[in-house]
Amino acid sequence: MKHRNEDEVLRLAFGDLAGEEARRARELIERDADARALFDEYSGIAEGLRKLPVAEHQLSTERLRQAILDRGLKRSRVAAAWRWIWAPAAVAATAYVATVILRPGATSTVMDSIDRPVPASTSSAAGVEAPKIELPSGTDTASEALSRPLVARSEPEIRPAPAPTSIRAESAPTRVAVRSEGSPSRGGSASSPALPEDLSREIMSTVAAAAPSPSSPEPGVPLVIIGADTDSQTGLNRATEVSTSRNVVVGG
C-alpha cells in the first residue's frame, strides 16, 4: 500500500476526510485487505482516544478547542455578507444622536479653585432657616432600584487592585474590583432614607436614556461607587471603581 493511501486511511479513521476523498478512501478499504486492516486499527485508536477521560482541570481547554473547531473555523461567507445590512440603521442612529440629543451649550471655563471653600453670595442670612431636605423613606422596591448601577451605557471598567509590594508580589495578583448588583443585604437598610420609587425610576430612566456625549468638554472623573450591599468577607459596604463620572446622578 502506498504511503499516500495509508495517509488517507488514517485521515478517514479520524474523521478528517469528507466528500470525494472519503469516497475514494472507502473504495480503497473495500478492495484492499491491508488497507481495511489498517483502517480497523486506526479506528480503534481513534475510538479509544475519544473515550479517554479528560482530567477536570483540562475540561475547559477541551471545550474551548471544540468550540473553536465547531464555530470559529466554520463561519459562512453568507453570514459575513449579511452583516452590512445593519449599516443604514447605524447611520440613522448616528444622525439621530447628532440632531436630537446633542444640544448647543456654553463652553465652560477652567475652574482652578474648585477645592477651596465657596463663599456664600450673601452673608448667613439672619433669620433665614435652612430648609430641611428630607428624603422620604422608600419602600424596598425603591431601595432595590437605587442599588442598581449608577452608570449607564458604559460597562464598568474592572480595575486590578494594586500589586502588593511584598516579596510575594511575583504571584500574579488576581484581585479585581467587580460590580455588585445584589440587593441590599444589611438588616438596617429598611430604615435608611431612600428616594421615592418614582424618583428612582425617573433618575434611572434618565440615566439609561443619556448617551455619552462627544461634545461634552470633560471626560469625567474616576469615582468609587459605595453600594448599599455588604461585602460578605469584610462586612463593610461593597465598593466599585468606575473610570468616569459620566451619566452618574448625584444629589446635593
Of residues 125-164, those binding other proteins (CB under 8 A):
125, 128-135, 143, 146-147, 150, 161-164
Query: Nearest approach, Cβ of 62 to other proteins (angstroms)?
Result: 21
Residue 111: which of 218, 216, 243 has the closest Cα?
Answer: 218
Q: Judged by CB under 8 A, does residue 235 bind other proteins?
A: yes
> Residues near 6 by Cβ (< 8 Å), separated by ≥ 6?
35, 38
At residue 144's C-alpha, the angle toward residues 138 and 145, to 5°, is: 85
Gyration radius of the chain's alpha carbons? 32
By beta-carbon proximity to other proteins, the closer residue of 24 and 159 is 159
CA distance 42 to 7: 11
Alpha-carbon distance of 220 to 218, in angstroms, equals 5
Cell 495517509 sits at which residue? 7
CB neighbour list of residue 21: distance below 8 Å, 6 or more residues apart: 8, 11
Question: Smallest distance from the beta carbon of 57 to other proteins, in angstroms?
Answer: 12
Work out whether 226 is an interface residue with other proteins (CB under 8 A): yes
The residue among 12 and 230 lying less far from other proteins, judged by its C-beta, is: 230
Of 30, 92, 175, 181, the residue at the interface with other proteins (CB under 8 A) is: 175
Nearest to 9 by CA among 49, 47, 36, 48: 36
CB closer to other proteins, 5 vs 243:
243
Q: Any idea which residue has 446635593 for its cell?
A: 252
**Could you tell me which stretch among 28-36, 50-58, 76-84, 244-252 binds other proteins (CB under 8 A)?**
244-252
CB of 86 vs other proteins, minimal distance in Å: 26
* 66-85 binders of other proteins (CB under 8 A): none
Q: Which is nearer to other proteins, 17 or 151 (CB)?
A: 151
- Closest approach of other proteins to the CB of residue 65, in Å: 23
Count the residues of the shown chain that bind other proteins, applying the rule CB under 8 A. Answer: 99
- What sign has the CA pseudo-torsion 94, 99, 102, 106? positive
Return the residue of 57, 60, 117, 155 that touches other proteins, per CB under 8 A.
Answer: 117
